[in-house]
Structure 1
Amino acid sequence: MESNKINYVELPARDLALNKAFFSQVFGWGFRDYGPEYSAFENAGLDGGFFQANFCSRPQNGAALIILYSNELEVVFEKVQAAGGTIEQVIFDFPGGRRFHFLDPCGNEWAVWSEPA
């Protein structure tokens, strides 16, 4: 393991089962439960997990924004909506690519980006 590098990220979830189903359906993540109030995600690009909480992670509240990458931005956009996510910002251009923001079923804000079209 590399020293002084980001190693793990934890995010709140009001409903662990709902968030696990969402991220499994949209992104193909796996999960390993550690008791009834914690579930680690796997195959997400960075190790981490969801902990049971009655609050959510949003940049406007001071939280970091986690940004995922996809080479099929429009496909992921549709999958997010079909799985119960809420689009916070539709696909837009930014210097270096395109992205959109969404809320997972527990209210955490995420973004997905892709190379320029």
Structure 2
Amino acid sequence: MPVRESAPLGAPIWIDLTTSDLDAAQEFYGAVFGWTFESYGPEYHGYLNALCDGRPVAGMMANDPQWDMPDGWTVYLHTADIRATLAQAAAAGAVLCAEGGAEPMEIKDKGWMSVFVDPAGAVVGLWQPGGHRGFEVVGEAGAPAYHQLTARDYGAALKFYRDVFGWQTETVSDTDEFRYSTALFDGDALLGVMDGSVLPEQTTSTWTVFLGADDVDKTVDLIVERGGSVLRAAEDTPYGRLAAVADPTGAGFNLTSLADR
């Protein structure tokens, strides 16, 4: 299993789950993906690293009822200067979520993090690595394989991420029925941006993580057996076999086959 040393600047570097049942989440993801877990302990409020073959691929933390937010996954983008990136994001129309505004949170000996809402309404995080360099396995079963931003305002989203993160984007489709672009990093399409204005009106802008699966259909079956649900049934696409699912408390993510990645 290849180990990734670092993520390109502006690309996804980490994902974590905020869950109302941390014990059940460990049981579920451990059974479905074979993840094991290590806790950072009370100093880090019980934050967990999820490991795939001993390498970190995701984080987990308890959802505090005071936050008044549903369980869900957050995608973090790599920055080398988190304060400068937050300032640029705010100037470009983002809404900063931290109480300190442009002041990020230091995670002792690990790095710096912050979260904001982009101009299209999607929540996304920033990670400036210190001792924790992000997920170290990509494109393998049980590891992040792709990421997607579904944006109600497709044009505004593309402009924002190009301006703030320097994304080089490539248009895949540009029709009224389906608009989609990819962001290229060293020639690799690591994420996509989809025009979400064609989706039902109640659909919000969101970032979605795609986890790799050797067999998408068997993984979907296992997810259902373990109390999860199917949001969109598995289907063949030009980019492999895909499915949208949720864990037992409703946190959604996608599955992708690996042969075409």
TM bucket (normalised to shorter chain) is 0.7 to 0.9
Deviation at 1:75, TM superposition (A): 1.2
2:94 is the alignment partner of 1:88:
no
Query: Quick one: percent identity of the two aligned structures?
Result: 21
Match of 2:210 among 67, 70, 78: 67
User: In 1, distance between residues paired with 2:204 and 2:28?
Assistant: 23
Aligned residues: 116
Bigger relative contact order (CA 8 A; separation at least 6): 1
User: In 1, distance between residues paired with 2:32 and 2:17?
Assistant: 17
Name whichever structure is richer in strand by fraction: 2
Deviation at 1:70, TM superposition (A): 1.6
Worse-matched range after superposition: 12-21 or 94-103: 94-103
| Gap regions ≥5 residues in structure 1 | none
Q: Structure 1: which 4+ aligned runs deviate by more than 6 Å?
A: none
Match of 2:23 among 17, 21, 26: 17
| Gap regions ≥5 residues in structure 2 | 74-149, 151-202
From the superposition, tell whether residues 10 and 34 of structure 1 become closer, same or farther in structure 2 (CA, over 3 Å). same
Deviations 1:7-65 (A, max 9, x none): 32222111100110000011100111233642211118763211111422276443311
User: In 2, distance between residues paired with 1:39 and 1:106?
Assistant: 18
Match of 2:58 among 34, 41, 48: 48
SS at match of 1:47: strand
Deviations 1:47-102 (A, max 9, x none): 32111114222764433111012221221111111111111111122222221111
TM-score (normalised: structure 2): 0.40
State the AA in 1 paired with 2:52: N
